[in-house]
A and B are shown apart, each in its own frame.
Chain A
Amino acid sequence: MIKKLSNIGDCGVVCDFGDEVNQKINAGVIQLFHYIKEEVSKGKIEGILNYTPSYNKLIINFDLKKIKSSQIIDFIKSVNFSELNFSKNKKEWIIPICYDLELDLEKISKTLKIDKNEIINIHLNTTFFIYMVGFIPGHPFMGDLGSKLFLERLKTPRVKLPPGSVGIVEKFCNIYPYESPGGWNIIGRTPTKLFDKKNETQPCLLSPGDTVKFKSISKKEFENLYNE
């Protein structure tokens, strides 16, 4: 499963699962991520500080005072992948979305020559898999959209997007957790808070490896939920 194990700087190790971006490769990454997270929380290995999954890699950062790359690499090599259970940590989420709060649907409809309602239907009928969460807190990178909806990034990114904006690019879908700049095509907005700073035990709603399905709501419902 792991194609290459190497150090990245003197306090990181990269587990490289190969070049492709697909759910099968990513499932391996997520499996190892959950395993390491659990071993760390059980105190089975000391010194690991962070474990960051992405499409095809898991990066492990550690405290060089306590452990070094070669020990982390030995630890990873000792993992028996056939004993790992991917689905036990997986959560399935239903996230409300208001398509009336889109910014780009008309334009997308023209570019792709697909009716607005059909775009919405394809989006609603897709079960999204969360490849990774990051860049900024709570921000999920999800896939896969059918090739019918493949789009490029905006040529000029918007300076300011409202929090909860849902965007698509290529086969990916994301949600902007905060008001932020962004170059994705915005098809709607969710009132769901993806990162809650008041929730000390579980501040981040979505986790890598979870799945998301969207549920269409009206503007009125959006406002009620948003102000809750």
Chain B
Amino acid sequence: MNNNFFEVLRAGINTTYQDNGRFHMQHFGVAPGGCMDLKSFVIANALVGNSSQEGVLEFAYQGPLLKLAKGETKIAITGNVIFQIIKINNEKVNGECNRTYNLKEGEQIDILATKESIYGYLAIEGGFDLKPFCKSVSVLARAQIGPNEGKKIKNNDKVNFKRNSSNEKNFTTKVISEKKEIIRVLQGSQFNYFSKQSQDNFFKKYYKITNLTDRMGMRLEGPSISNIISANIRSEGITKGAIQVPADGQPIILLTDYPTIGGYPKISNIISADYHVLVQKVPGEKVLFKNVELREAEQLYKEHLNNISETIKKIKEIN
């Protein structure tokens, strides 16, 4: 047991430990959770040479200010993030995403903001020193499940990590931005609960992302979707990315920390290949839903995975 750690000088708005999620527990009411943008998560770990499932710090909007109090390490930040490395002599170096930095004891990382996106990721070589709960280090803050007593990072917390960095080399890769307004969906099991006009509107009109958006769900605003059968269904298990429509006609997309059971009819489901693009959209942005078939969605996911593999293959040493 070493005692390498960062001191949290500023926690940021919604900074939590996350990995790829906690499974086999939805029947007990525990949502999988995990990183919102799994692509950025996987790339962050790959840059620092970790396994793809190692826990990272996820932050939203404003990230943490961390001081390396003990040890030395290599870090990588992914997403679209503005940050600085503050040297011991107070010199500030503007950081670049998708590359690694070696940090010495006493240096700080100041994660100022995510740019035109919500979530960013900080991975550390060797990983954070965390106690998993049911095989995952993802924090489900609403139910206070996971490491750090299931809570968000607070000021003055200690962020422990497993080991010092093993080499001085730095690495980088190029991540192609996938920003787009079209989000592809598959029709939901209750698609026919909605009027013909509403179904048409759903695929032709813009829906705006509102402020009521967090890790659990994203509320949209747009042409009202009218239900012609029943505004409630028997409560049933939820799937990530389900778009449910309560009686008020405004859709809610259920995101990573979703309630495990719900009783509103669902008009569609976000396809897996577009989920990471959707969750990075900020309130005020608009989306246009496009209907695809199952086979196409599966093919698009394959391409998405290939795209991640290519990005990882292109990781090269910085000279």
Contacts and interface: CB of A to CB of B under 8 A. Distances in A.
Do A and B share a complex?
Answer: yes
Interface stretch (A8-16, A157-165, A215-223): A8-16
B206 interface: no
B25 interface: yes
Interface stretch (A79-87, A103-111, A114-122, A134-142): A134-142
A200 interface: yes
Contact of A9 (B28, B133, B142, B269): B269
A58 B239 CA distance: 12
Contact of A51 (B27, B133, B270): B27
A203 B28 contact: yes
Question: Which range holds the interface residue count of chain B?
Answer: 35 or more
A49 B260 contact: no
Contact of B189 (A10, A14, A65, A138): A14
Contact of A132 (B133, B261, B270): B261
A95 interface: no
A190 interface: no
A80 to B, nearest CB: 22
A96 interface: no
B272 A11 contact: yes
A49 B237 CA distance: 13
B5 to A, nearest CB: 23
Contact of A200 (B24, B133, B294): B133
B188 interface: yes
A57 B28 contact: no
B261 A50 contact: no
B234 A53 contact: no
Contacts of B241: 9
A8 B189 contact: yes
Interface in A43-59: 49-59
B8 interface: no
B261 A197 contact: no
Contact of B24 (A19, A50, A136, A208): A50
19 contacts: A10-B269, A10-B272, A11-B239, A33-B27, A50-B23, A50-B26, A52-B237, A54-B234, A54-B235, A64-B298, A64-B301, A134-B26, A134-B259, A135-B235, A135-B261, A178-B143, A195-B28, A204-B29, A207-B28
Interface of B: 23-30, 32, 133-134, 142-145, 150, 186, 188-189, 234-242, 259-262, 266, 269-272, 294, 297-298, 301, 305
Interface of A: 6-12, 14, 19, 21, 33, 37, 40, 49-59, 61, 64-65, 68-69, 132-139, 141, 178, 195, 197, 200, 203-204, 207-208
